[in-house]
């Protein structure tokens, strides 16, 4: 993977993290953003995930879990991004777990277009 693309990805990670943390929790707490809920007046599996995610980002773990228990996947995703960022900073020639995961996914979707290696 190109070194320049990896550094751009690192900058994007940092910008997203800062932007999400800067959004006040109060802006999403009282909102129901789910289209399914607004159309059918019943919760979907993802209902509350946005509020749960923002609560988790602001350190309110129990509140996040009460909004949506699936928020437990966020630390796993955060670990993958952290590990990817660390490998970029270390200028490692190896692929990070995130890069391997995306390569595996692309190979499953487009088996004839991805080279082995």
Domain boundaries defined on the chain? 3-109
H helix runs in the chain, sequence order: 3-22, 26-29, 35-40, 49-57, 61-67, 73-89, 97-109
pLDDT digits (tens, 9 = 90+) for 76-105: 988 999 999 999 899 888 889 988 988 888
Q: What is the pTM of this model?
A: 0.65
Model pLDDT for residues 35-84, shown as the tens digit of each residue: 888 899 888 888 888 888 888 888 899 999 998 999 989 889 889 999 99
The answer to whether residue 33 scores a pLDDT higher than 80 is: no
Across the range 1-22, mean pLDDT stands at 86
In the structure, what pLDDT confidence band is assigned to residue 1 with cuts at 50, 70 and 90?
A: low
Taking a C-beta distance cutoff of 8 angstroms, is the pair 55, 68 a contact?
A: no
């Amino acid at each position: 993977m190109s070194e320049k693309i990896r550094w751009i990805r690192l900058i994007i990670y940092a910008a997203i993290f800062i932007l999400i943390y800067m959004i006040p929790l109060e802006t999403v707490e009282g909102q129901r953003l789910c289209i399914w809920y607004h159309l059918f007046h019943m919760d979907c599996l993802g209902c509350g995930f946005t509020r749960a995610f923002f609560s988790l980002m602001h350190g309110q773990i129990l509140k996040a879990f009460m909004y949506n228990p699936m928020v437990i996947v966020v630390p796993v995703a955060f670990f993958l991004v952290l590990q990817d960022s660390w490998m970029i900073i270390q200028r490692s020639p190896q692929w990070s777990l995130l890069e391997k995961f995306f390569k595996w996914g692309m190979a499953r979707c487009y088996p004839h277009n991805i080279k082995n290696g």
